[in-house]
Amino acid sequence: MIREKGYPCEPWRIREAGLDLDVLAQSESVFALSNGHIGLRGNLDEGEPHGLPGTYLNSFFELRPLPYAEAGYGYPEEGQTMVNVTNGKLIRLLVDDEPFDVRYGEVRSHERILDFRTGTLERTIEWVSPAGRAVRVRSTRLVSFTQRAVAAIRYEVEPLDGEQTRLVIQSGLVANEELPITKNDPRVAAVLREPLRSEQHLANGSGALLIHRTKQSGLRMAASMAHIIDDSQETTVTTEAFPDWARTTMACVRKPGERLTVVKFLAYGFSSQRSIPALRDQVGAALAAARLSGWDGLVKDQQEYLDEYWDGADVRVDGDPEVQQAVRFGLFNVLQAGARNEMRPIGAKGLTGPGYDGHVFWDTELFALPVLTYTKPQAAVQVLRWRHATLDLARERAATLGLKGAAFPWRTIRGQETSGYWPAGTAAFHIGAGIADATMRYVQATGDDDFEREIGVELLVETARLWRSLGHHDRHGDFHIDGVTGPDEYSAVANDNVYTNLMAQRNLLGAADAVARYPEVAHSLGVDEEEAASWRHAAASMTIPYDEELGVHQQSEGFTRYQEWDFDDTPPEEYPLLLTHPYFDLYRRQVCKQADLVLAMHWRGDAFTAEQKARNFHYYEARTVRDSSLSSGTQAVLAAETGHLELAHDYLGETALTDLHDSHSNTEDGLHLASLAGAWLAIVAGFGGMRDHDGELSFAPRLPSRISRMDFSLLWRGLRLRVSVRPDEVTYYLREGDHEDGSQLELLHHGERVTVKIGKPVTRPVPKMSPPDVEPTQPAGRAPIRRGAQGPGSPRSTFAR
């Protein structure tokens, strides 16, 4: 775990002082760079040692068979695994014939800095070779937000002693790297041996090109490199290329105080349709554009891009510097995952590692997209456009299952279902409602009517058709959705899951309203008044299970009568339970992997009373073990809403620090993108009380004791709203966007209607709140680490240590 090592608390960067090879794989994920198209893990420039080498292209994958001991109808036959593509990060150094390797010689100092404002990874190391020659190496790496196909590295070597030192730099492209053996863990990616087949390799004086194709999926990719060398002094340059590797070698002699500086430009592209010449020319053009900008131009453009992003997205948290750093780290990585995805998905790990085979799940729409919708809507809409592009595959899947409409996949890269475990996969139909919810949320937040007309209506219609087909009216007229799995994967194939039913209800009503607004689109999709009326009828009669005796909602029908899990006799080493207990035992007990009904109270909070939320939260807190990293962010939101502000702060810390502390012991496989997004949700929806039910923006801010001030920004219909919260008051600022001066925004502040105009901030008091009578409890040993009045590290339990 990283927790005991940690990173210094600095508000705008992650800094690693020293180099701990025991946590190298985790730090490679933390220091990963991406722009949504290209992903580079934070491997050392010289490539070795490494924890897990990784270079990724969004949606570049290989097919693999999914074997079953017993096959069943509708089981997916092929899996999709994100491929580790050609590695262009490699820059090897020889100092007087001695390879630069941190495992040999002496490392005097080593520092890496990931800067959220510049979008760069900087590294500085002083190293003494086994022969006693000292050098200082500085490198700066970036993946460009403004030039989608481009990454670049500036590499500088300076001798520190001796009369003169012979330096040789070998800059490479390497395909089909050997990867570590995977663990027996369903969250870890399958290892594909040599997935790339060479199609072309070319070399020129200072660069090279490699073109490969996957053996089964038939995707073709090109990787190219070019170099600019500080040639104020003589440096010899040669390049050679072979099917799976290419190398540019630069050799020179330098004295102390003299430096060898090399800028390496990389370009990546892939396609399922383009020819070899077309891809060759594509990456050639990208390299030409990068060289035109030059290193300084790329850095300048990167910082300007991020300046604009942070202007509308930054969060300030006074009183908890560790969370302050972590929430900006999360916002930076959500941006990295989606900035230039351009009609491609955002996977559970982004492009930071191969966990879950690079698949996208439902949490993209429920965690990552809300953050992007309110901070970078141009990125959010691209994911929805990708979902729409896979609609035909979702219709085919629904037909295979004997259903109408569209059944979107539980896990996928290209759009086909690739989950080999149907109770947690196929049965998790709620993903369709999440896509519908993200569609409606985006339209409400942006007012993008063109998107709604061209894409949104069809997504809503086809998902609504699925619910009407999947569910049924009983003899009393009540509408049920049976045999489904909600977000809690420890309660599979249940009837009337509350989260699923409430989200489906919103989906059905949203579709009915959309076809009424766009009758011409409805006609083209074959929707008539009778079908739309059936959606409204199903929504109005949706079954929401409730236990009258206990006074709480049942997560699914009958959940509250299940046998209780024996938490007191479950030792810490048995968590996560999915790795130590059979699923059938989990499915028949009152134990929750993650927030499920609690998630419903966040996104469908309009369907619950305040009293119901309080009672439900208490009940499910005692049964939720948080074996999923998705859970703590949602629990923070509802803890804050129900008045448990210190507990909400604890959960905020847990979700924000998931990867910086490696609290689930699997950051090495990539960052937990939904957890990082969950930190923003915990602040904005939790302590900020932000909701947008039915398109009406509302806030109910309150702070825990240790946070003295909190500011956050969001975009709403082209306007930039800044919310500044203090213990006793909150100020709403409206700033220019796409609107003229005089524009205004109506919102609710603790139920009071407030009008905010550009340039005229409005301040309102924070109403006093009586503390809850009883504090909720968690399963034995599963409480979060305390961050409240007693300070960080004061344990409620030993969980996550």
pTM of the model: 0.96
Q: What is the pLDDT of residue 797?
A: 44
**311 token code pair:** 């202007």
Across the chain, which has 801 residues, the per-10-residue mean pLDDT values are 68 96 96 98 97 97 90 91 97 97 97 98 98 97 98 98 94 94 62 90 95 97 96 88 97 94 98 96 98 98 98 96 97 98 96 96 97 97 98 98 97 95 91 98 97 98 98 98 96 97 98 98 98 98 98 98 96 95 95 97 97 98 96 98 97 97 93 97 98 94 96 95 97 75 87 95 94 92 82 48 28
728's CB contacts (< 8 A; 6+ apart) are 765, 766
- Coil, strand or helix: which one is 141? strand
Place of tokens 């969370």: 323
Q: What is the pLDDT of residue 793?
A: 53
- In sequence order, what are the beta bridge partners of 747? 754
Q: Are strands 120-128 and 134-143 parallel, antiparallel or unpaired?
A: antiparallel
Taking every pair of Cα atoms in the chain, the longest distance, rounded to a whole number of angstroms, is 93
Closest CA to 314 of 295, 327, 296: 327
Place of tokens 């090897």: 92
Q: What is the pLDDT of residue 183?
A: 60
126 within 8 A of 160, measured Cβ to Cβ: yes
Q: Are strands 236-242 and 150-159 parallel, antiparallel or unpaired?
A: unpaired
| Structural domains for the chain | 31-65+79-294 (2.70.98.40), 318-693+772-795 (1.50.10.10), 713-765 (no CATH)
626 to each of 53, 120, 375, 434, 485, how far by Cα in Å? 29, 33, 28, 21, 17
649 within 8 A of 613, measured Cβ to Cβ: no
- Give the span between the Cα atoms of 360 and 350, in whole angstroms: 9
- Give the span between the Cα atoms of 221 and 734, in whole angstroms: 45
Place of tokens 């002693």: 161
Q: Are strands 589-590 and 729-735 parallel, antiparallel or unpaired?
A: unpaired
85 within 8 A of 151, measured Cβ to Cβ: no
Query: Catalytic: which of 452, 489, 646, 654?
Result: 489
- Coil, strand or helix: which one is 452? helix
Q: What is the pLDDT of residue 2?
A: 46
- Give the span between the Cα atoms of 93 and 27, in whole angstroms: 22
Read out DSSP for 158-174?
EE-SSS-EEEEEEEEEE
Binding-site residue positions for substrate:
362-363, 593-594
Q: Are strands 794-795 and 785-786 parallel, antiparallel or unpaired?
A: antiparallel
469 to each of 317, 359, 406, 432, 483, how far by Cα in Å? 47, 27, 10, 13, 13
489 is catalytic: yes
